[in-house]
Amino acid sequence: MNIYAGYIRVSTDDQTEYSPDSQMKLLREQAKKDGGMIPEEYMFSDPGISGKDAAHRPEFNRMISLAKQKNPPFNRIYVWKFSRFARNQEESIVFKNMLRKNGVEVISISEPLVEGAFGSLIERIIEWQDEYYLINLSGEVKRGMMEKASRGEAMCRVFGLDIQENAYVKNADNVHVVDIFESYDRGESFRSIARRLNDAGVRTPRGNALDNRFVEYVLRNPIYIGKLRWSTEGNPCSKRKYDDPNIRFFDAKAPRTVSEELFTRVQEKIDKQKALYTKTDRPNTGRPWLLKGIAKCDCGGAMVYASAKEPSAQCNNYNHMRGCTVSHHISQEKLKNSFILGLRNCCAMDNYESDPLAPIVPKTTGATPDYEKLIAAEQRKLKRCADAFQAGIDTIEEYASNKKEINERIRSIQDELAKQSSDLSPEERKAATIKDYRERTMALIHTLEDDQVSVESKNQAIKLLISRVVFHKPDNSLIIYFK
């Protein structure tokens, strides 16, 4: 027998409503008709609450926490009306989606869904509306949060500070914030700071290990000099766009962690460092050529456009005297011809193994990824997003967009998994893979030899199949790595 739950909430505004006892009776009857029962312990009921004054719902919260467990004790929640299930439509949508992911349905007995194909269409429209509602809602949320920001109230969880009654107060990690600012000011790098604090057991507010991006995020956050950063676009502090023109600053209800002088000095240092970094490391700008972003020197550096008598390529590390001491100069024409020859060689062979002049190493060998594990990891992320939303860290807008992104990833992993688990033996699968590679390689050669195709399009086409082409100067060979 299926075990279900029931939730009762009586509106005191509505005099025509059924009494709690009659609602309970109706829910139990419907559960029985559906082949299950609602035991006493899973009949949840919050007393008559009117309209918006509904913040306190202990039984509702207890029910949700049971339904969110790994193996929920019931797989259905019966309610009289959806509007009784949550305080408002947006909350109802969020909870329903969250529970559905955990295998728990919410069923309204006075608003039954239509059966059959038409019913499933309606369900889909409702789901679509749910998503639309979540997105649309963000306007309201934005306004509300902007108002909160302008009052300097604490909204986002921040490293080294806790939130108490809408204000920030220092916590135990605050000393690490001071350390981060002072160490960076003394010349230590983001990465080194992150590594050192990680080794000391320091974690982000979400319990993750620190990385260099997190260190930068801390250094960029004006909350440590008592200012709240807020974008008029409604982006909360977690967005890492430091030069967003829509950003406004407000005096925050927060103590100062570092001095304004130190903060300003650190900002200037970061800007300077960034400018340096972007000047020398731009593999994807400049003149287009066939193997741009694909050809590498055997030292690991990128082969970049070199102007000589004829269009050529040269190792970027050699150009900048960064550890590559042998000139890897080669004409683009020669590089292109060897590349196409290499592709032809691998089409001619049964397996994509080597040819002495142009060894071809496909990346198709090796273990297939553990798809179940990948999916489980995505699902954990989804749960963290839901938790972050519930805890008020993420806005509904952020939650909706994260959820959409993660679900898309899960679907593509599932597609991949379905492809892998079709009933092929390892040999057959290998043969199918090689056949697939050969067909794609031939199509690529065709594209490369087509004079009507622009060099940018050819470059794009190569990137779909080839991850990199390594130029080995000593024996003048190319190694082609397939994706």
At 101, which helix (H) or strand (E)?
helix 89-101
The upper half-sphere exposure of residue 397, i.e. CA atoms within 13 Å in the direction of its Cβ, equals 16
Q: How many other C-beta atoms lie within 10 A of the C-beta of residue 213?
A: 11
- Looking at residue 233, its amino acid is E
Provide, rounded to whole angstroms, the least separation between the CB of residue 470 and Zn ion. Answer: 10
Joined together, the tokens standing for residue 204 give 């982000």
Provide, rounded to whole angstroms, the least separation between the CB of residue 301 and Zn ion. Answer: 4
Calculated CA dihedral for residues 277, 245, 214, 163, nearest 10 degrees = 160
Q: Kindly give, in sequence order, each residue whose CB lies less than 8 Å from that of residue 219, ignoring residues fewer than 6 positions away.
A: 180, 181, 184, 266, 267, 270
Tell me which residues touch Zn ion (CB under 5 A).
Answer: 297, 299, 301, 315, 317, 324
| Residue closer to Zn ion (CB basis): 299 or 343 | 299
Q: What is the CA 144 to chain-centroid distance, rounded?
A: 25
For residues 466 and 480, is the Cβ–Cβ distance under 8 A? yes
Provide, rounded to whole angstroms, the least separation between the CB of residue 148 and Zn ion. Answer: 54
Q: Kindly give, in sequence order, each residue whose CB lies less than 8 Å from that of residue 435, ignoring residues fewer than 6 positions away.
A: none
For residues 27 and 100, is the Cβ–Cβ distance under 8 A? no
Q: For the chain, give me the number of helices (H) and strands (E)?
A: 15, 17
Q: Which residues of 17-28 are buried (b: 16+ CB within 10 A; e: fewer)?
A: beebeebbebbb
Provide, rounded to whole angstroms, the least separation between the CB of residue 306 and Zn ion. Answer: 12
Provide, rounded to whole angstroms, the least separation between the CB of residue 332 and Zn ion. Answer: 17
Q: Which residues of 218-231 are buried (b: 16+ CB within 10 A; e: fewer)?
A: bbebbbbbbbbbbb
